[in-house]
Chains A and B, each alone.
Chain A
Amino acid sequence: MPWTFYNANGQRLSSSAAGISNVVEDTTPQLGGNLDMQANLLVGNGGSTGIAISANGEVNMAAQPSFLAFNSADNANVTGNGTEVTVEFNTEVFDQNADYNNSTDTFTAPVTGRYLFAGAVTVGGMAADSASTGYVKITASNRSARHTFDTGSSANAAGGGAFACIVDMDAADTCLIKFSISGVGGDTADIKGDSSLMQTYFSGQLVA
């Protein structure tokens, strides 16, 4: 027997013949049970990339801003006497929404939100026993976050700083990483890089 469902406003929601015909007019649609996505995506505003939910409940968001890049080779003699440098992260591991530029080492926010940035900068080439301090700085458009560290006696002539912060960014804001070492006596310190082991790396993700 054919059937038809109507909502409280008298709008036709579905029928046995045509399925749900139109829920656009219903401004407060409610589900009576789980929404089974099958193999389909939740997409926004006519887009084709969205949220995928597997049968086991794992969620993937293929266009969610998320990137990881690292420095693939040493940058020699770039700091040590207080010189602040922009850290190079020239090799991308992934960049889901094309927001990171490995030519300028800069992330550009596609939408306003809260972004988690995390990474590390490893330094070497400092003279042994040189008492040095340094800082690593998340430099975003609206604000900067600086972590200062002490490399101690630097007997092993190496050190570095890690960073992590959730940063408020407006659409089109940029973020990059600055780094400086002081007390070496000259700009003889190197920012470390390697083609396989990530020693100096920068990652970010839109979290809210």
Chain B
Amino acid sequence: MNIFSSGIVLTAHENSCLLHVVSDAEAWVTSQITTKAELRRDALINEWRPTLYADASVTELPANADDLATLILARSDYHTRLEKDTAMTPPELVITLNKDAYDAVTRSGSTVTLFPSGITIADLSVNCILAYVQNLEEWVIGALMGQVNRGKKKMVAQYHPIIMADPSVTTMPATEDGLITMILARPDYRKRGQ
């Protein structure tokens, strides 16, 4: 499956905040998705093991985690998180808050596009995540923007005292964007890995 086929656009500041806490943005996103898929695969197996043991029609099970997850996902009584949520009365609403917040920001001018050809994820990985998560793109945007927020806060927390102690600085910007611009322009600023 390919998601975000046109890539994920970040402002230059968002990208700088991200690179304050990760050394390679695309590698970080890929790693989070891979780890998430493995954790959800293992959780799926643990959740379904009692059902499989109690099912008289199941006489043997694969000894490989991927194959076992594939067997579970193919069962007629298996449903994705979204299928279960929409089948409830009343149905659980699909959460799009992260995507909505991301889409609400106009990103023009100086931008960076991550994964310009999209993110390709193995079907099994996608299906293991969707056993627990309503929408994969919503999850990825939430993960990414959460890390951008973390990078921004850590950058400000780290450099605000440095600026305050710098006798050559007499005033500082009164906006967060202005402060980040000031921090990034400092000769002593170091992003992750530098």
Contact = CB atoms under 8 A, between A and B. Distances in A.
B32 interface: yes
Nearest to B149: A101
A112 B95 contact: no
Interface stretch (B4-12, B34-42, B54-62, B72-80): B34-42
Interface stretch (A21-29, A32-40, A53-61, A103-111): A103-111
Contacts of B146: 99, 101, 106, 108, 172, 174
B84 to A, nearest CB: 10
A104 B145 contact: yes
Interface band, chain B: 20 to 34
B35 A141 contact: no
Nearest to A112: B39
A171 B142 contact: no
A42 interface: no
B25 to A, nearest CB: 13
Interface residues of A, number: 26
Contacts of A170: 35-36, 39-40
B65 interface: no
A144 B92 contact: yes
A206 to B, nearest CB: 14
Interface of A: 84, 86, 95, 97-99, 101, 103-104, 106, 108, 110, 112, 139, 141-144, 168, 170-174, 176, 178
Given A106-B142, A141-B133, A173-B139, 16 more contacts: A84-B93, A97-B150, A98-B149, A98-B150, A101-B149, A103-B101, A104-B149, A106-B97, A108-B143, A142-B43, A142-B132, A142-B133, A144-B92, A172-B143, A173-B142, A174-B98
13 contacts: A98-B157, A99-B146, A101-B149, A104-B97, A104-B98, A104-B149, A106-B142, A108-B143, A141-B142, A142-B133, A171-B32, A172-B143, A174-B143
